[in-house]
Chain A
Amino acid sequence: MSDAQPKRLTDIGPPHYQLFLPPIIKENYGKWKYHEILKPGVMVHYSENNEKLYTVRAGSPRLISTKKIRKYAELADKYCDGFLRFTSRHNVEFLLTKEENIEPLIAELEALGHPVGGTGNAISSIVHTQGWVHCHSAATDASGIVKSVMDELLPYFKTIELPAKIRVALACCLNMCGAVHCSDIAILGIHRRPPRVDKESLPKICEIPNLIASCPTAAIRPSQYQGKPSVEIDEDKCMFCANCYTVCPALPLNNPLNDGVSIWVGGKVSNARHEPMFSKLAIPFLPNNPPRWPEVTSAVKHIVELWLKNAKKHERIGEWIERIGWPKFFRLADIPFQKEHIDDFKHAGLSYKRSVHLTYM
């Protein structure tokens, strides 16, 4: 760059959030009294001095262009004095003070292809990772599955009438950049072929002791290749976590014949009623079948509809399954129970059934 550089700034931290708060929020910060969900995707918050802040929430694919962000900015200028926010699940929220702006804004968002919904007892956007768009360790794509699943589940985004909320998340490998392990339904990319050792490049780019130490099951052993230190894999011990690949790029696990998707159910993070819990394995493997992953899409839809049909009011998926028991879940869902469902990692025994509290019908 030819133009003179100003003094290089570092460690300034993020901009102060107060710069971006609308006046109604600045005035009522910490003074909100209660809220109502007026309809799917529309909330109103009442303050102590009876001011009203309306929120219109719209779904987003997370991967968005600057053109779309500029469009959001344009809508914010037109309807909300330029103020908007995003949620932890990638939704965009417009913050309005004029009730009469709600419907025109919704009409413009829907016309733009961004459905309004995702509040209360509904499905919200799927939290997800990068997949084949940007990740080196992805066992599946993220955006494509999310798009396909949400196309199917859209009616449940635009409602507030489900038994409880449902949170779906997707991670394209076990690294779980999206930390999907406490979701009502988690879609998880998995590898099933042990790493192949690229013996030529390994000594150049990897530190072997570190690599050996990286394996949680001690499946990586030192060996020699052309007189130089190398490693070999004890394939029987590999559980496909890919931790070695993260530490050493010369041990790739990606493999089109063996990579695919697993489905996990019944997790939650909120403390409401039941304590937070992990998602549990429902379907060990479904194939990668782009562009629309029909097996994954129909499996997710099947579980959601089964829950809708059988859950009591306020029961999230995990609470419902805990009431009916896992055997009954597998029977109702018509999912074959197999060896992969039984834990064999640390503390596996804690997951064995240790009573005769069983159902037979």
Chain B
Amino acid sequence: MPVEKKYETPLLDQLESGGWPSFVKEIKSAAEDNAMANDLLGLLEQSYQEKIGHWKHGGIVGVMGYGGGVIGRYTDLPEKYPAISHFHTMRINQPAGWFYTSEALRTLCDIWDAHGSGLTNMHGSTGDIIFLGTRTEELEPIFSKLTAAGFDLGGSGSDVRTPSCCCGKARCEWACYDTMGLTYYITNRYQDELHRPAFPYKMKFKMSGCPNDCVASVARADISIIGTWRDEIQVNQEEVRNYAKSGLDITKEIAMLCPGKCIEWNGNEIQIDNSNCRHCMHCINLMPKALAPGKDRGAAILVGSKAPIVEGALLSSVLVPFIKLEEPYDDLEIWELIENMWDIWCEEGKNRERIGEFIQRVGLGNFLDAVGLEPQPEMVAFPRDNPYVFYEEYFEEEEDQ
């Protein structure tokens, strides 16, 4: 249904020009026949004029039975912009690796055009398909059409957030395990934890196939599963020579930048001291045709990264230096470890305390005790440099001595 234009948007109009694709054009295009998108245009122009947002908290809406997947949102100017008095976000669990057929995309568009603003994010930061803006009464009809089409909601609130991964073995020679396969498995294994928030705060999984970490799992996942290998880098010396012939300065650009200083180039062959390789990927990145990760592939599991809220940003740190991640996934030992971690975190964690902050508070050593892991030197950048050790036991003199 065509919508009559109601709003002048002189500030937003200035964002239609320029070489980068314009979100304003996208909103305007949706606004031609969608009243919600049209009111959004008016409201956003007002925000640009006043330099302040006009959205309110709304933490109460959802679909029946789920505690995640819908972010309630209301404008604080409902009389002026009635079509977006409700403007809830729906998070829809993306297919692993973000692959689609045109048919699947059209199915999603048909559902959203019938029930929402016609605006989306492809995709949100966590990885979900984002349906941006609908009314409470539309949530159930959308959910029912989505599930009929084979889609389900993603996570929000204090639950397992929608797991995401790089494209892994689907289109990358560096994938050290099947990121998409494992992501699909984890998402299904933890459906209840994803839809029914039962944790102190959010719990994110991200699966990267190699240490290049294309989904930034080390920075933004409570559980970061990063592919790596533990044998020798595979070398094709003929192709190394070809790279050198085509102008790559192997000594300067590769050997000298190697963090383990474990590569030498004699003008004819490269020698790699694999026992000192740090698996950083730099040499492989520069010579993909000549070098490849080894054959004994798996992953390292790191834990605890997060953005600043509440106690400061953290990077994930090593919990399991190497593990094979092969099917059948049911038989992997990491599920028991993960569920033990959740138990102790649920038991002792504070409200809004991510697992990384929890580990900082109780100490990694105590956390390892609680989840049943032995300390390993791979878990620290360096051992402690202060002598304040909390010894838990001491000897008493025997009475007769």
Contact = CB atoms under 8 A, between A and B. Distances in A.
A and B touch in the complex (CB under 8 A): yes
Interface of A: 1, 5-6, 8-17, 19-21, 25, 29-30, 32-36, 45, 53, 55, 59-70, 72-74, 76-77, 82-88, 90, 92, 95, 113-115, 127, 129, 131-138, 141, 143-144, 146-148, 150-151, 154, 171, 174-182, 210, 213-214, 216, 241, 243, 246-247, 249, 254-256, 259, 267, 269-276, 278, 288, 290-292, 313-314, 345-346
A141 B282 contact: no
Contact of A151 (B18, B124, B278, B281): B18
Contacts of B52: 132, 254-256, 259
Given A276-B218, A291-B11, A32 B20 contact: no
A17 B351 CA distance: 35
A88 B164 contact: yes
Interface in B306-342: 306-313, 315
Contacts of A271: 211-213, 278-281
Contacts of A114: 21
B169 A30 contact: yes
A258 to B, nearest CB: 10
B15 A148 contact: yes
Contact of A63 (B26, B279, B351): B26
Given A136-B56, A255-B52, A178 B125 contact: yes
B122 A86 contact: yes
B304 interface: no
Given A14-B187, A17-B184, A290 B173 contact: no
A45 B171 contact: yes
B281 A179 contact: no
7 contacts: A10-B195, A17-B95, A65-B120, A66-B112, A147-B18, A181-B313, A241-B308
B109 A63 contact: no
A250 to B, nearest CB: 10
A8 B52 CA distance: 41
Interface stretch (B144-152, B265-273, B366-374): B144-152
B188 to A, nearest CB: 4
Of all A-B residue pairs in the complex, the 8 with the closest CB atoms, nearest first, are A151-B18, A176-B307, A179-B220, A73-B102, A150-B20, A271-B211, A9-B147, A132-B47
A243 B352 contact: yes
Given A13-B191, A20-B101, A179-B220, A67 B213 contact: no
Contact of B100 (A66, A84, A241): A84
B44 interface: yes
A6 B101 contact: no
Most chain B CB neighbours (cut-off 10 Å) among A17, A135, A256: A17
Interface in B281-319: 281-282, 285-286, 288-289, 292, 306-313, 315
A34 B150 contact: no
B96 interface: yes
A146 B21 CA distance: 10
A74 B102 contact: yes
Contacts of B212: 270-272
B173 A147 contact: no
A114 B125 CA distance: 20
A55 B171 contact: yes
Interface in B79-112: 87, 89, 93-106, 108-109, 112
Contacts of A19: 95, 101, 104, 150
Nearest to B188: A13
Contact of A179 (B37, B169, B219, B350): B219
B180 A17 contact: yes
B380 interface: no
B216 A182 contact: yes
A17 B99 contact: yes
A62 B113 CA distance: 18
B99 A292 contact: no
Given A9-B144, A178-B125, 20 more contacts: A13-B93, A13-B184, A17-B99, A25-B99, A30-B169, A35-B172, A35-B173, A77-B102, A83-B100, A85-B167, A90-B122, A133-B23, A133-B44, A147-B15, A177-B124, A180-B307, A181-B308, A182-B218, A271-B279, A290-B48
Contacts of B119: 63-66
Nearest to A5: B144
A178 B308 CA distance: 11
B227 to A, nearest CB: 11
Contacts of A60: 21, 122
Contacts of B180: 17
A54 B303 CA distance: 35
A355 B53 CA distance: 46
A113 B214 CA distance: 26
Interface in B151-180: 151-152, 164, 166-167, 169-173, 175, 178, 180
Nearest to B288: A34
A32 B169 contact: yes
Contacts of B102: 72-74, 76-77, 82-84
Contact of A68 (B24, B26, B127): B26
A134 B280 contact: no
A213 B200 CA distance: 14
Contacts of A179: 125, 216, 219-220, 306-307
Contact of A82 (B11, B23, B103, B285): B103
Contacts of A346: 311-312
B176 to A, nearest CB: 11
B384 to A, nearest CB: 14
B122 A278 contact: no
A147 B311 contact: no
